[in-house]
Structure 1
Amino acid sequence: MDTKLADLKLKPWLLAELNQLGYEVVGDMQHLSIEEMLRIPGMGGRDWRVIAKALGIEWNPWLKKRR
């Protein structure tokens, strides 16, 4: 979890936005839910999947939650 966000090869504008929000390493984002991460301006699907993989979040688009 000590992986720096700069090492993940994210888009430069997303990296700048995350740094402004105070996130420098992947572990800083651990408390955020998936919805909160995707609401960050500039966060797209590819960037989210890279961060989720670094956080250890397994996400499968074919599995749906049953409520």
Structure 2
Amino acid sequence: MTWSWQYENSAGEATGTSETFDQRSEAETWIGTSFEDLLEDGVERVRLLQDGTEVYGPMSLRPE
């Protein structure tokens, strides 16, 4: 089982995916430390995928 993040721009279009992680907790830790860099690269939202299937999202990377 692998976990990854799908990136989306402000129009909701998929723009790429993250590296894969063996554990959900690793993926969630990674997004918590990487979201600012992703915002700078134009990523506005992400979706968490497990083996390519959406688990949750979209989740905005911007503070509420």
TM-score (ref. length: structure 1): 0.31
**Of the two, which has the highest radius of gyration?**
1
- Tell me which protein shows more strand as a share of its residues: 2
